[in-house]
Amino acid sequence: MGGKSPGRRIKRGPTLAERADRHRLYQDSVQCPEEDVTFYTSVFGKLRGGRRPMILREDFCGTANLAVQWCLSDPKRRAIGIDLDEPTLAWGREHNIRPHARKLGNRLKLYRANVLDPRREKADVTCACNFSFCIFKERADLKRYLKLAKEGLKQNGLLFLEIYGGSEAIIATEEDRECGRYEYVWDQHSYNPITNETVCHIHYRFRDGSTLERAFTYDWRLWSIPELRDLLLEVGFSDVRVFWEQLEDTDDDQVEEGEMIYGSGEYEDVTGKEVEQQESFLVYVVGVR
């Protein structure tokens, strides 16, 4: 008998990429909110005579992971989180806030709003993490944001702006990092030296060969430290300090050509100092009200 045997459909389960939750991946691979809380508290204490900051405003808060950790770090602490994207905020309410609802009480407020909308609540610390303010591409827009951020701070408040840079920040390049069961990929897709505009993506690659391409995409202007400093002073901050992330301790002789050295999560106050250029660096530029 000729003819083909009947085709058999092989039922396969969903791939790891299909089963993944991009917000969970982002939180686990990008954020360290406990370290951020410790860092802000320590800088505030040093610059403000040992005082402890109690109210945090997390601008561009996304899933509000940091705002939640802030409140959990002290039963008297309060936070507000502001983000434009309702689905992201909803994920944060479900996965970050609900499990701690009793502890948090009414100490955490999330607003679906533009960070450019004026707000009445004043904070001890305002932060814009993971370069989020780079969404503002015009100097006038960033200046407006910084002015509003200053007005939203209490008299002794501090504004923490997280920014990256370095000789590899201004080229198209891809960097990957093992994160346990998957690989995190930072894809600097394009960079335009005329405008300093850059488009970056985050991808996730899994052990079964599946990938979550462009899980997140950012279209930014990469601001430099001196540009931020000038703007902060222009809008009336009394001082600007720069905190530079230290590299992991390595035995220099053991580091092989091309091997990555990662940041340690520890920051040094380098204000007024000279620092050697790195291929990539992370800093906090802090506006002192």
In the bound complex, what is the minimum distance in angstroms from residue 65's beta carbon to ligand SAM? 7
User: Using CB under 6 A, which of 69, 130, 198, 211 touches ligand SAM?
Assistant: 130
2-10, 54-62, 191-199, 224-232 -> range binding ligand SAM (CB under 6 A)? 54-62
| Nearest residue (CB) to ligand SAM, 31 versus 271 | 31
83 binds ligand SAM (CB under 6 A): yes
114 binds ligand SAM (CB under 6 A): yes
222 binds ligand SAM (CB under 6 A): no
12 to 31: interface string for ligand SAM, x by CB under 6 A: ------------------xx
User: Using CB under 6 A, which of 129, 142, 161, 225 touches ligand SAM?
Assistant: 129
CB-CB contact of 269 with 283 (8 Å): no
In the bound complex, what is the minimum distance in angstroms from residue 50's beta carbon to ligand SAM? 28
Q: How far apart are the first and last CA of the chain?
A: 87
Beta partners for residue 202, in sequence order: 186, 216
- Per-residue exposure over 176-208, b if at least 16 CB sit within 10 Å of its own CB, e if not: eeeeeebbbbbbbeebeeeebebebbbbbbbee
149 binds ligand SAM (CB under 6 A): no
Phi and psi of 40, rounded to 5°? -60, -40
| Nearest residue (CB) to ligand SAM, 72 versus 149 | 149
Nearest-CA neighbor of 211 among 24, 28, 19? 19
Sequence-distant (≥ 6) Cβ neighbours of residue 206 within 8 angstroms:
15, 16, 17, 20, 181, 182, 183, 212
Q: Quote the crossing angle between the two packed helices 33-47 and 65-72, to the nearest 10°.
A: 60
Would you tell me which residues interact with ligand SAM (CB under 6 A)? Answer: 30-31, 60-62, 82-85, 88, 114-116, 129-130, 132, 135
